[in-house]
Amino acid sequence: MLSQVYRSGFQPFGQRLLPWVQSPGLSRSHRVQPSAIRHVRSWSNIPFITVPLSRTHGKSFAHRSELKHAKRIVVKLGSAVVTRGDECGLALGRLASIVEQVSVLQNQGREMMLVTSGAVAFGKQRLRHEILLSQSVRQALHSGQNQLKEMILVTNLDFHDEQKRRNLNGTLHELLRMNIVPIVNTNDAVVPPAEPNSDLQGVNVISVKDNDSLAARLAVEMKTDLLIVLSDVEGLFDSPPGSDDAKLIDIFYPGDQQSVTFGTKSRVGMGGMEAKVKAALWALQGGTSVVIANGTHPKVSGHVITDIVEGKKVGTFFSEVKPAGPTVEQQGEMARSGGRMLATLEPEQRAEIIHHLADLLTDQRDEILLANKKDLEEAEGRLAAPLLKRLSLSTSKLNSLAIGLRQIAASSQDSVGRVLRRTRIAKNLELEQVTVPIGVLLVIFESRPDCLPQVAALAIASGNGLLLKGGKEATHSNRILHLLTQEALSIHGVKEAVQLVNTREEVEDLCRLDKMIDLIIPRGSSQLVRDIQKAAKGIPVMGHSEGICHMYVDSEASVDKVTRLVRDSKCEYPAACNALETLLIHRDLLRTPLFDQIIDMLRVEQVKIHAGPKFASYLTFSPSEVKSLRTEYGDLELCIEVVDNVQEAIDHIHKYGSSHTDVIVTENEKTAEFFLQHVDSACVFWNASTRFSDGYRFGLGAEVGISTSRIHARGPVGLEGLLTTKWLLRGQDHVVSDFSEHGSLKYLHETLPVPQRNTN
């Protein structure tokens, strides 16, 4: 039967599952990596027994990040996934997107199986042709019973008889070999009731009393790597969902089983969930990893399966291997409470910690360099030379790092607890606004391991808890640098305030922990900043993704100064975000010696010139015209445009700039002040290089970064950018009703003196 219907040759999945869609175009090209295609094609010629698995089956995955290696995957769809919430039949959109996801995974070279639940009976008349397994296997196995039921179901009976089991197994393998996605259908309603003492007690006595245990049974029988169970619950919770403390459990270990509950965010204890957990644990024992997740939410259902396989934190992942370290959620809590303790230390104590860390960096130099060598050796040949350079540490790098840390320690003395404002509201009722840490920072940094102690020192100086997420390539270096940081923190008992997040954690997942993280600071390329700004859900990101800096050369600019300023701004370090990108020249300067001098200098410095449209129109032979006036070259390239006056320069900057740093060169003070007043950027300079836009050069002590945001910190950000404020009110028994229209008291609102600020 099977062979007659389906052995007509290799055809891609789409056609198999939904035969009403047929097209000559379907089997042509798939958007998968060439290697995957080759893989798929070669299988169909490989005999059953040697189907290559990319890993040895028998051990479940320890971490979500490994799920991408799953070769054979069973997706179990609960009734709630298959049918619409409004009881209007099948959830077509959802089913179609599940089909697309399964198809994508199949085309990646995986072996996919679907297990659907009884709800598919809805469409049984029409789906009859599609439900491969139910039809063919059952007919092959036995016949003569209730015809309808037999056509739809695989029940526990199929597993009890050794011969039947072997047949089922063989058929499924055969289907997979042909690159067909078997769909196993089950039906809660007609499944025989559970037999007494047939509960989950081990591989051999499992009774398939419900769809989930059937899926688990099948998954283990088929030596499946991953079983994805989709229903209308989010997964397991650590207390009843909807209660004050309920948190979705990301990873569930068999030993933890007594303490969980389950459901959606608002509903508790869905029927059958206990069976789901039991089935999952049973599958796990059999070497199959399991993820239980919600497959009904419209916002995720389009990618829930692929997300799970990609290792994203969706639902609850069942793992036998309890990792040694804490989860990132636990780390977040440790950073929060550690940070709160750090914030209540005396400023001197925080400075001591940083000094101690600086000492450790030089004292433990050999150990650090040894770890770094390991990273370099592992990266050799895999990373480009500039990246290797960023990755490598040296004695001199460590020395200057230690010097930098001591500077941070110095500027930390006057950060947390500084009184900004004092007001006498009434007699014996005094208000104070004081600086306090923001809370928990997440700093994401690329290759450079020297970032770690620097960022840690900034967090310590500002009393913030810190989650550090470094690059995989610097694992060994980061580990030792973090250990030293914790050693330094220990001297005042706040070891946990700085946490190093496991490299397996996905940045995207971290960026969603809005209950745990108050501010994200990306340290790296502008691409990293952009990615993180995009990924951060409800958490502010401090940074700048663009630095399109302008210099306007006014008609009254000094000839001597211009060339100096342009050269420094453009050529000194063109990759910096504060390097010059667009030179705006007053029209009157065209064809003057000053203009020629600038062009000559740029030629000598080998700067490639791009002409703005107006500039090009003034020239007989112009350099290539710019593609966009909004370009950050980050290289020895410069856009030149002509403007009629300072107002046009300002308008250009507002239209095409990134509000980072913009400069005017002029000898006319009035023009300069007009420019300084009117340009709406974080940094506006007069007769100075754009490159001064930098925390160290500004004298801010430690630089946290440069922000082009208009909220919170703006421009180069020092320690202050890591602080917020709180209001302290000290009264006796003051109530507001005493201050009402007919009350006995009146507001004084006297400004009280504030201790003067000790800058530097």
Name which of residues 118 to 137 contact a second copy (CB under 8 A). 122-123, 125-127
What's the closest the beta carbon of residue 260 comes to a second copy, in angstroms?
Answer: 20
Q: 504 — phi, psi (to 5°)?
A: -75, -20
- What number of CA atoms fall less than 13 Å from residue 699's CA on the CB side? 2
What's the closest the beta carbon of residue 681 comes to a second copy, in angstroms?
Answer: 7
Identified binder of a second copy from the candidate list 6, 10, 618, 686, rule CB under 8 A: 686
Q: What binding mask, one character per residue, do residues 4-23 give for a second copy by CB under 8 A, x or -?
A: --------x-x---xxxxxx
Name which of residues 214 to 273 contact a second copy (CB under 8 A). 243-244
Task: Looking at 536-629, list the stretches that DSSP marks H as alpha helix, in order from N- to C-terminal side.
Answer: 559-571, 593-604, 613-618
What's the closest the beta carbon of residue 288 comes to a second copy, in angstroms?
Answer: 28
Instruction: Say how far apart CA 111 and CA 89 lie, in whole Å.
Output: 29
Look at the chain and count its residues. 760
What's the closest the beta carbon of residue 438 comes to a second copy, in angstroms?
Answer: 5
Task: Looking at 178-269, list the stretches that DSSP marks H as alpha helix, in order from N- to C-terminal side.
Answer: 211-221
Instruction: Say how far apart CA 639 and CA 216 lie, in whole Å.
Output: 63
Considering the complex, state which of residue 192 and residue 731 has its C-beta at the smaller distance from a second copy: 731
Identified binder of a second copy from the candidate list 36, 90, 268, 410, rule CB under 8 A: 90
Name which of residues 159 to 178 contact a second copy (CB under 8 A). none
Considering the complex, state which of residue 146 and residue 677 has its C-beta at the smaller distance from a second copy: 677
Identify the residue whose tokens are 């006995």: 744
Name which of residues 609 to 648 contact a second copy (CB under 8 A). 628-630
What's the closest the beta carbon of residue 276 comes to a second copy, in angstroms?
Answer: 25
What's the closest the beta carbon of residue 422 comes to a second copy, in angstroms?
Answer: 10
Name which of residues 487 to 546 contact a second copy (CB under 8 A). 518-519, 533, 538, 540
Considering the complex, state which of residue 209 and residue 312 has its C-beta at the smaller distance from a second copy: 312
Instruction: Work out whether 698 is an interface residue with a second copy (CB under 8 A).
Output: yes
Name which of residues 100 to 119 contact a second copy (CB under 8 A). 100
Contacts with 116 (C-beta within 8 Å, 6 or more apart), sequence order: 76, 77, 82, 183, 184, 185, 186
Considering the complex, state which of residue 618 and residue 698 has its C-beta at the smaller distance from a second copy: 698
Tokens of 497: 């305030």
Considering the complex, state which of residue 79 and residue 364 has its C-beta at the smaller distance from a second copy: 79
Identified binder of a second copy from the candidate list 178, 689, 702, 704, rule CB under 8 A: 689
CB atoms within 10 A of CB 6: 16
Name which of residues 543 to 562 contact a second copy (CB under 8 A). 558, 560-561
**642 neighbors 585 (Cβ within 8 angstroms):** yes
Instruction: Work out whether 683 is an interface residue with a second copy (CB under 8 A).
Output: yes
Instruction: Work out whether 735 is an interface residue with a second copy (CB under 8 A).
Output: yes
Considering the complex, state which of residue 454 and residue 693 has its C-beta at the smaller distance from a second copy: 693
What's the closest the beta carbon of residue 14 comes to a second copy, in angstroms?
Answer: 6
Instruction: Say how far apart CA 473 and CA 445 lie, in whole Å.
Output: 11
Identified binder of a second copy from the candidate list 423, 502, 526, 645, rule CB under 8 A: 423
Considering the complex, state which of residue 26 and residue 140 has its C-beta at the smaller distance from a second copy: 26
Total residues in contact with a second copy, by rule CB under 8 A: 112
Considering the complex, state which of residue 218 and residue 246 has its C-beta at the smaller distance from a second copy: 246
Name which of residues 568 to 607 contact a second copy (CB under 8 A). 568-569, 572
Antiparallel, parallel or unpaired: β 235-237 and 498-500: unpaired
Identify the residue whose tokens are 């199986």: 113
Considering the complex, state which of residue 364 and residue 693 has its C-beta at the smaller distance from a second copy: 693
* Binding span for a second copy by CB under 8 A among 24-32, 280-288, 401-409, 489-497: 24-32
Q: What are the DSSP E strand ranges found in 449-531? A: 465-469, 498-500, 519-523
What's the closest the beta carbon of residue 18 comes to a second copy, in angstroms?
Answer: 7
Instruction: Say how far apart CA 447 and CA 475 lie, in whole Å.
Output: 9
Q: What binding mask, one character per residue, do residues 308-347 give for a second copy by CB under 8 A, x or -?
A: --------------------------------x---x---
Instruction: Say how far apart CA 137 and CA 2 lie, in whole Å.
Output: 8
Integer CA distances (angstroms), 310 to 66, 198, 653, in order: 8, 36, 42
Contacts with 257 (C-beta within 8 Å, 6 or more apart), sequence order: 277, 281
Closest CA to 458 of 500, 409, 418, 403: 409
The residue type found at 567 is R
Give the N- to C-terminal CA distance of the chain in Å, as an integer: 86
Q: What are the DSSP E strand ranges found in 366-456? A: 419-426, 429-437, 440-445
